[in-house]
Amino acid sequence: MADASPPIHGVLFDKDGTLIDFQATWVPLNVQAADVAARGDPALRARLLEIGGYDGETGRVTGASLLAQADTREVAEAWVAAGAPFGVDDLAAAMDRVFQAGMHDAVPVTDIAGLFRRLWARGLHLGIATSDSEAAIAASLAGFGVPAERVNAYGYDSGHGSKPDPGMIHAFCAATGLPAAQVAMVGDNLHDIHAGKRAGCGVTVGVRTGTGGAELDSAADVVIAHVGELEAVLGDRLPAPE
């Protein structure tokens, strides 16, 4: 990074596709949630998954789709509009139960506990901003072996809005006392990068472990293969380990 760039004292991570392997973790959960939404009707389940951005031929969720970027309530609204026999609130709650349970077995992209320990050793503030729920963040951190009390957690249900709005980043800055210029936003899709840009983050970092594609190259300040490369790419902008 350029020498004139401000130092980074906080990192706010997206969760799914950034800390967690999106396709390995979320495809089965999305299929399970669609089955709940369709009340077991296979034709309706297939239609809901298609609306969400699931490609039945490849078995993957496409980038810039509902399932890739939207929060649970936004997906529930789309599925109810498409015929899911639920009210939006009830469906969102049922989907959150599926997602929270699944986070205990989420597939991390690297040793997340080791990464967080190294960043904490540099005196950094860490947070997670996700389109999932706060409860799912807690379940994910437990699975990673990361103490939840040391991570500022922001879900779609935390009251700070959803990405690409910058509310979660503003909340992180308020909680840590950091200006946005000293915060790195790390994510796998355009919602994450746009949120970081709108908040005025010092750097936006795209990762290739989620649903984002070539569009990250022109949107993010820097793109890396996975979060394990974060320390190397930020280099001297990070404080030295204590």
Q: Which domains does the chain carry?
A: 10-21+108-237 (3.40.50.1000), 23-105 (no CATH)
Render each residue's pLDDT in the chain as its tens digit; 242 residues. 444 689 999 999 999 999 999 999 999 999 999 999 999 999 999 999 999 999 999 999 998 899 999 999 999 999 999 999 999 999 999 999 999 999 988 999 999 999 999 999 999 999 999 999 999 999 999 999 999 999 999 999 999 999 999 999 999 999 999 999 999 999 999 999 999 999 999 999 999 999 999 999 999 999 999 999 999 999 999 999 98
Reduce the secondary structure of the chain to three states and give it as a string.
CCCCCCCCCEEEECCECCCECHHHHHHHHHHHHHHHHCCCCHHHHHHHHHHHCEECCCCEECCCCHHHHCCHHHHHHHHHHCCCCCCHHHHHHHHHHHHHHHHHHCCECCCHHHHHHHHHHCCCEEEEECCCCHHHHHHHHHHHCCCHHHCEEECCCCCCCCCCCCHHHHHHHHHHCCCHHHEEEEECCHHHHHHHHHHCCCEEEEECCCCCCCHHHHHCCEEECCHHHHHHHHHHHCCCCC
0.95 cut: is pTM over it?
no
